[in-house]
Amino acid sequence: MKRINPLLVLFLLLVLYWVVLYIIAIVIDTQHVGGEQYFLTILVKGIDLFPLIGVILFSSICLFSKEWAIRNKWLVVAILFFLFSLSIYMLFFNHSQG
């Protein structure tokens, strides 16, 4: 049985996150009058939560494929550092919402 690359799984899960978020935004947009406000609000919240979702997904992938995480520990540390720093920026320093 061929092994699946965990980075490919992470990429596909993050793409699936954006697809589901976009579908939810479209459905809510069609259900409400003036739905474009809801559409943009959902997309902005999705952008804010993206690093946190990335950390959760990457941590669970590392938990399920421990051998890969042990073999590539510097890559795991670099990706988690990038995701945590992006998450901290989005949560505390991103003041563009007004």
pLDDT at 1 over 50: no
Give tens-digit pLDDT for 29-73.
Answer: 888 777 778 888 888 888 888 888 988 999 999 898 888 889 999
Residue 20 confidence (pLDDT) above 80: yes
| Residues 6 or more apart in contact with residue 64 via CB below 8 angstroms | none
Q: Side chain identity at 16, as an amino acid letter?
A: L
Q: Could you tell me the pLDDT band of residue 94, with boundaries at 50, 70 and 90?
A: low
Tokens of 22: 């976009």
Helix (H, G, I), strand (E, B) or coil at 35: helix
Whether pLDDT at 97 is above 60 = no
Tokens of 76: 């795991």
Closest residue by Cα to residue 42 from 59, 26, 65, 58: 26
Q: Give tens-digit pLDDT for 8-19.
A: 988 999 999 999
Distant-in-sequence contacts of 66-75, Cβ < 8 A, 24+ apart? 68/6, 69/6
